Amino acid sequence: MTTSLVTGANGFIGRHLTNFLLSRGDRVIEVVNEPHDDFVSLHATKADLKFGDENRYRVPVDILDSAKIKAVISEFRPDEVYHLAGQSSPNVSWAQPAQTMRVNYEGSINILQGVLEAKLNSAIVMASSSSIYAQNSVSSAIDEKSKCEPSTPYGISKLAVDHLANIYNKAYGLRVFNARPFFLIGAMKVGDVCSDWARNIVSIERGNSQALFIGRINGVVRDFLSIHDGVRGLALIASEGSVGESYNICSGSGAALSDVLEILIKSSTTTVKVSMDESKIRPVEELIKVGDNKKLKSLGWSQTISIEKSLKEILEYWRAH
pLDDT digits (tens, 9 = 90+) for 6-17: 999 999 999 999
Domain that holds residue 199: 193-219+255-288+312-320
Whether residue 197 sits in one domain with residue 297? no
Query: pLDDT tens digits for 187-229?
Result: 999 989 999 999 999 999 999 999 999 988 999 999 999 999 9
- Using the predicted structure, report yes or no on whether residue 41 has a pLDDT greater than 80: no
- Residues 274 and 155 placed together within one structural domain of the fold: no
Q: Is 164 found in the same domain as 277?
A: no
φ, ψ for residue 264 (rounded to 5)? -65, -45
CATH at residue 56: 3.40.50.720
Question: Whole-angstrom Cα distance, residue 198 to residue 69?
Answer: 37
Shared domain check, 94 and 239:
yes
Same domain flag for 164 and 277:
no
**81-106 in b/e burial notation, b at 16+ Cβ within 10 A?**
bbbbbbbbbbebbeeebeebbebbbe
Same domain, 207 and 296: no
User: Do 129 and 275 belong to one domain?
Assistant: no
Alpha-carbon gap, residue 228 to 209, rounded angstroms: 30
Q: Are residues 202 and 59 in the same domain?
A: no
Q: pLDDT at position 138, please?
A: 65
The pLDDT tens digits of the residues spanning 133-169 come to 998 766 689 999 999 999 999 999 999 999 999 999 9
State yes or no: pLDDT of 298 exceeds 90.
Answer: yes
Per the structure, the count of domains in the chain is 2
In 3D space, the residue among 33, 3, 8, 28 whose CA is nearest the CA of residue 18 turns out to be: 28
**Segment 276-293 mean pLDDT:** 80
Instruction: Give the amino acid at 77.
Output: R
CA atoms within a 13 Å half-sphere pointing along the CA-CB vector of 176:
27
Backbone angles phi, psi at 24, to 5 degrees: -95, 0
CA distances (Å), origin 157, targets 55, 109, 162, 163, 319: 33, 12, 9, 10, 35
The overall average pLDDT reported for the chain is 92
Q: What CATH number should be reported for the domain holding residue 279?
A: 3.90.25.10
Are 141 and 290 in contact by the 8 Å Cβ rule? The answer is yes
